């Protein structure tokens, strides 16, 4: 009898395990304007100042890519490329405030047919017309924060805060709201496959934070103690003054020439810490619900850190050249992690594979059991076969980056990159400035020279010419960027 009961129990257990969802959950965690050095796992000189234990934990549970790219160096086009798997240049979007039409297919619409529930949380930046909103694009749920109102004086509080254990002790804060809504979604959908797009607005300006976050940064990096004390005396900047209203601190105007750079850096780092706290809560939730080994997590920034307006805005992009808005490495090479315990390597640093934010599209669709659209070019690829040894080679031998309205483009071809090619003024948008790009562009070995200091144009003249021809062939049928058309007016920025 005892043996029969044991067999019955094992049979039931086997049936239960086989009934578990075999389609993985997918979570994308996106930061906004995060500097390349501003994460512990990059182990760069400035990385020591960033307090990111949970992002470091995520990297230790997955793969950190040294050659991780986004498709664009500004928010809107970068996000639209991620969600369509296509360079936004293919549909004329190369600047903020311009959006893909409803004919462009975004990821959630496809995986819906394969049993997935999807939701987006945070910054959208992909259009506000009814058919361009998150739900218009196929998301089942959304908590869209259309204003960078970090202290939530105008934004409605999320539904998650009405439940037990809601708002944090330090009061309403936008990053917390995005995280808590995402966690509530995970718990509601734990018994079926889901896709969560968690798009933080931090550490993008305006620079608003909580005092307890600043205190933790000071404890971690004591060199900011003096800046913290200045914060408490209502340090002022030109124009709008800084405001210390415990527990809130608003840095105020960040565009002047006499900024307190230490205080700005401290504020930025504390905003990033709030994102890291959220990552930790998401990881803990997945573990509590028994979902961690069935969940693939992507973490990356939407573009490089914002620099020189006329001062750096808190972030550190070194050792990369330039930052947000540029087609140099500093605008498009970003922190990039994939983590899926039990399927992908643990604590691995991949220094060779060239991966792109656009790969999230194809990877997620094929994991869901779907197929990428065959009626259009999809620039992204499914990364899983490359990372599990089922497919050899590099996911991308060629990646191109454009911002024609600002006067330049670049293209990576293997280890080399034709960079910052200055364009003729006739293609510039109003206000576009190509002066920071060299005539003819430079040619760099960006696999080994990520700072782009050694121009190899003379040494590799033929390879440079070949790379230019590849770019011209790839982009010859692209539409004129919408922002360069006569009378072009961007839509509302989010």
Catalytic residue IDs: 75, 125
- Cα(456)–Cα(23) distance, rounded to whole angstroms? 46
- Cα(209)–Cα(40) distance, rounded to whole angstroms? 20
Nearest Cα residue to 87 out of 323, 391, 327: 327
Q: Which residue has the tokens 């708002």?
A: 167
Determine the distance from the C-alpha atom of residue 153 to the mean position of all C-alpha atoms in its chain, rounded to a whole number. 26
Nearby residues of 84 by Cβ (< 8 Å), 6 or more positions away = 91, 100, 104, 105, 106, 107, 358, 361
Residues 42, 305 contacting (CB under 8 angstroms): no
Nearest Cα residue to 203 out of 142, 125, 148: 148
The SS3 assignment for 338 reads strand
- Cα(69)–Cα(494) distance, rounded to whole angstroms? 23
**DSSP per-residue string spanning 194-235:** EEEEEE--TTSSS-EEEHHHHHHHHHH-GGGHHHHHHHTTT-
Alpha-carbon torsion angle 115, 121, 127, 129, nearest 10: 70
Question: What are 248's strand-pairing partners?
Answer: 210, 245
């Amino acid at each position: 009898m005892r043996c029969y009961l044991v067999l019955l129990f094992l049979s039931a257990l086997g049936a239960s395990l086989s009934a578990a969802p075999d389609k993985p959950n997918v979570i994308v965690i996106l930061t906004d304007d995060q500097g390349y050095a501003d994460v512990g796992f990059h182990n760069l000189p400035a990385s020591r100042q960033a307090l990111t234990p949970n992002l470091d934990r995520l990297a230790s549970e997955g793969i950190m890519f040294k050659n991780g790219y986004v498709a664009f160096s500004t928010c809107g086009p970068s996000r639209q490329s991620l969600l369509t798997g296509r360079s936004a240049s293919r549909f004329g979007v190369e600047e903020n405030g311009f959006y893909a039409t409803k004919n462009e297919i975004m990821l959630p619409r496809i995986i819906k047919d394969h049993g997935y529930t999807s939701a987006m949380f945070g910054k959208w930046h992909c259009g506000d017309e009814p058919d361009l909103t998150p739900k218009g694009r196929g998301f089942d749920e959304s908590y869209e924060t259309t204003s960078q109102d970090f202290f939530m004086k105008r934004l409605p509080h999320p539904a998650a805060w009405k439940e037990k254990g809601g708002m944090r002790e330090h009061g309403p804060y936008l990053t917390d709201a995005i995280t808590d809504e995402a966690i509530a979604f995970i718990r509601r959908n734990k018994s079926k496959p889901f896709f969560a797009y968690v798009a933080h607005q931090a550490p993008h300006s305006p620079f608003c934070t909580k005092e307890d976050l600043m205190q933790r940064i000071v404890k971690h990096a004591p060199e900011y103690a003096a800046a913290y004390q200045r914060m408490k005396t209502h340090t002022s900047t030109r124009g709008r003054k800084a405001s210390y209203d415990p527990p809130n601190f608003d840095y105020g105007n960040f565009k002047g020439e006499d900024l307190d750079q230490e205080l700005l850096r401290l504020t930025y780092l504390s905003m990033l810490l709030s994102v890291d706290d959220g990552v930790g809560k998401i990881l803990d939730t997945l573990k509590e619900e028994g979902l961690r080994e069935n969940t693939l997590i992507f973490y990356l920034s939407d573009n490089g850190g914002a620099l020189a307006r006329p001062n750096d805005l808190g972030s550190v992009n070194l050792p990369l050249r330039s930052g947000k808005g540029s087609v140099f490495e500093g605008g498009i090479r970003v922190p990039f992690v994939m983590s899926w315990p039990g399927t992908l390597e643990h604590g691995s640093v991949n220094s060779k594979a060239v991966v792109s934010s656009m790969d999230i599209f194809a990877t997620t669709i094929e994991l869901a059991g779907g197929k990428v659209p065959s009626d259009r070019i999809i620039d992204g690829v499914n990364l899983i076969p490359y990372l599990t040894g089922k497919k050899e080679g590099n996911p991308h031998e060629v990646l191109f980056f454009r911002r024609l309205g600002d006067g330049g483009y670049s293209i990576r071809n293997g280890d080399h990159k034709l960079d910052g090619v200055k364009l003729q003024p006739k293609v510039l948008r109003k206000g576009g400035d190509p002066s920071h790009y060299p005539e003819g562009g430079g040619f760099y070995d960006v696999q080994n020279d990520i700072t782009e200091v050694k121009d190899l144009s003379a040494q590799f003249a033929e390879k440079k010419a070949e790379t230019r021809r590849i770019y011209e062939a790839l982009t010859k049928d692209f539409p004129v960027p919408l922002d360069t058309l006569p009378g072009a007016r961007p839509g509302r920025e989010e």
